[in-house]
Amino acid sequence: MGSDRVRDRDVARVLADVGRIGPWFAVGPVPPGSTPVRWDALYGPARADGPDALSERIDGVAAALHTDRRIAASIAVQGLAARLVSMPFAAVACHGVLPLLRDLVRDPSAADPWAPLWPGVPAAVGTPDPGADPAGAADVLARELAAHLDPLYAAVGARVSVSERVLRGNAVSAIAGAARLVESARRPEDSARPGTVGPPRRSGQAGPSALPESPASSRSPMLLAALVGHPALRGPLPEGATGAVRRTGAAGSGWSFRRRSCCLYVRVPGGGLCGDCVLAP
């Protein structure tokens, strides 16, 4: 974990900035009058006295897609993982700042009961510059993500028989999707936008410093490539089991991600292959 605490006002600026990328990146405050519950309550054991929130989510996906619970569990995990990983990935790629996820909540009575929310400005730490040291930044980010993804996999596995390889591949696929959106939203012409903040200075109190001139659009695939094979994200799976990033185009100017498993959407009535599927041509 990074050692430099980021000031609340700078964290708020980072969250506001990455929230502009899209709805999956926007984690807002708890609305007044709501009754939020902790996000990590989803990871608890199944209830003996009735359905719990995670089981209801899986059953809801199964009903909506007219499929079985195993396929629904896989797709539900992909959606929940995207909720968890998009904002922190963008914050690290764009600013070298990692908001910690331990205080995330959600509002079951809201129109979107699965939207993560903050009860206040979250604690955050600075990471190594993902352009100069993508492995260092990925190490900090991967460990924070795994602290929430691993309990999610375990909770789903306790309810439905679904391959851990599939679930871990789903999460990495969600990270790759976030990386693509960050790259698209932050082209070189956007790299010098006013208000952009980077990791805190080494004093920890001198305020944020600007990241180097490389735009977030170039840091995003570098951070992704370092994350894909990180031991904290692949868990007990062998190296390369979740997927791989490949450079494409002239002089490797582009990139693609191909996962090593299938999320099972192809088995949904009317479904098909995802763009990064192992089964895709």
pLDDT digits (tens, 9 = 90+) for 111-170: 999 999 999 999 999 999 999 999 999 999 999 999 999 999 999 999 999 999 999 999
Q: Rounded to 5 degrees, what angle do the CA atoms 93, 95, 97 make?
A: 95
Is 278 within a domain? no
pLDDT digit string (tens) for 194-233? 334 444 433 333 234 445 545 777 889 999 999 999 999 9
Please state the rounded mean pLDDT for residues 77-91: 96
Q: Rounded to 5 degrees, what angle do the CA atoms 88, 89, 93 make?
A: 115
CA–CA separation, 87 and 82 (whole Å): 9
What Cα–Cα distance (Å) separates residue 101 from each residue in 1, 35, 88, 129, 203? 13, 19, 8, 20, 24
pLDDT digit string (tens) for 24-71? 999 999 999 999 999 999 999 888 877 899 999 999 999 999 999 999
Is 111 within a domain? yes
CA–CA separation, 196 and 192 (whole Å): 7
pLDDT of residue 209: 45
Direct distance between the N- and C-terminal alpha carbons of the chain, in angstroms, rounded to an integer:
39
CA–CA separation, 219 and 213 (whole Å): 10
Is 271 within a domain? no
280/251: higher pLDDT: 280
Is 117 within a domain? yes
pLDDT of residue 253: 66
What is the model's pTM? 0.89
Is 281 within a domain? no
Is 194 within a domain? yes
Is 280 within a domain? no
Phi-psi region of 195 (alpha: psi -120 to 50; beta: other; left: phi over 0): left
Q: How many domains does the chain have?
A: 1
Question: What's CA 241's distance to the chain center, in Å?
Answer: 18
Domain span holding position 168: 8-241
pLDDT digit string (tens) for 158-193? 999 999 999 999 999 999 999 999 998 887 644 444
Question: What's CA 149's distance to the chain center, in Å?
Answer: 9
Is 204 within a domain? yes
Residue 281 has pLDDT above 80, yes or no: no
